[in-house]
Amino acid sequence: MRDTILARIEGEPMLSFRHTVSILVVCLSLTSVAYAQKRDTHFPTDDEIRLVLTQAERAVNEYKPLLDRWEKTLGKEGAEAVAKDRETLRGIDAGIIGFRKNPQAFNSVLGFAFFEWLDDACRNALLSAVSTSNTAAVELIDGNNANAQSNIALAKDFSNVSTVFYTVSENAGALYTRFVEGEEQLAKEAVAAATECGDILKNSKKSVPKP
């Protein structure tokens, strides 16, 4: 790009202010086009983001019925016990809806928030698995085998959905890492391009004519 622009101004006796600005505009325009093209190469694509959204939706749909069962098991304390879990799922649902409308919004701070919700859901489901296992152990000691077996099965289901959320969060995290690394790379390239534009004007050895 530098050689092309220099070739066009070579031999000109003197650059007017208007010509100087024109060269700078052309240089920055070419840089902007290159930036946009490389942005598409570096960042997660719409299809990759939509795949993670589909995975997240499936995990949420598996989790919700388990929370309903656990809330019912706990009785009066159930709603409070699963409140944090439901709040996390609402965040994930909101992210799924929003990113489906505009997948590239994931390539921003919103993508990190979505990753954190998935990570929270993974941890919450695992904690629920531990809680239901402990409840089942107490019920076995009390001789309430039917409820104990039911909660053992529920604990297994919570553990399984936690694994699903772990996988989805890893996938989302990998995409977001690509976005961050792409931003860093493009920032370096933008600085280099801006420096090159400055050098083009400096090395032209032309001066703005005095009025």
Kindly report the three-state secondary structure assignment for every residue of 137-185: HHHHHCCCHHHHHHHHHHHHHHHHHHHHHHHHHHHHHHHHHHHHHHHHH
Confidence of residue 15 (pLDDT cuts 50, 70, 90): very low
What is the average pLDDT across 170-174? 97
pLDDT, residue 184, reads: 74
- Looking at the chain, the whole-number percentage of residues with pLDDT higher than 90 is 61
| pLDDT at residue 208 tops 90 | no
User: Which of 13-27, 120-134, 178-192 has the lowest average pLDDT?
Assistant: 13-27
Q: Are 135 and 151 in contact (CB under 8 A)?
A: yes
Q: Are 52 and 110 in contact (CB under 8 A)?
A: no
| pLDDT at residue 25 tops 50 | no
Domain residue limits, the chain = 53-180
Confidence of residue 194 (pLDDT cuts 50, 70, 90): low
Q: Please tell me which of 17-21, 94-98, 186-190 the model is most confident about, judged by mean pLDDT.
A: 94-98
pTM above 0.85, yes or no: no
Q: Residue type for 179, please?
A: F
